[in-house]
């Protein structure tokens, strides 16, 4: 009997895109998006009661917060305001 593995159709392995779609689910810090909330004014950092550890920043402090996030290895952020 001949080796059937050699002739097996591998349509889900044809390209990197397809391999990424069918691979095991993994979650890394690179997959996460950090939300940043903006509030008008200067020198403001307000807590958000329903989101521990998340703050509303004025634009001057937002720049510093995003820089700190990037230095810590963060890759993506989303601004709300």
At 62, is the pLDDT very low, low, confident or very high (cuts 50, 70, 90)? very high
Angle in degrees, CA 81, 53, 77, rounded to 5: 50
pLDDT at site 8: 64
- 36-55 pLDDT, tens digit per residue, is 999 999 999 999 999 999 99
The mean predicted confidence, pLDDT, of the chain is: 88
Angle in degrees, CA 54, 81, 52, rounded to 5: 10
Residues of the chain with pLDDT > 70, as a percent, come to: 88
């Amino acid at each position: 009997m001949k080796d059937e593995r050699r002739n097996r159709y591998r349509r889900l392995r044809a390209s990197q895109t397809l391999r990424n779609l069918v691979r095991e689910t993994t979650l890394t810090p690179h997959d996460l998006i950090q939300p940043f909330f903006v509030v008008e004014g200067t020198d403001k950092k307000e807590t958000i009661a329903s989101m521990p550890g998340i703050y509303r920043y004025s634009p001057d402090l937002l720049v510093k917060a995003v820089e700190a996030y990037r230095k810590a290895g963060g890759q993506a952020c989303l601004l709300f305001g």
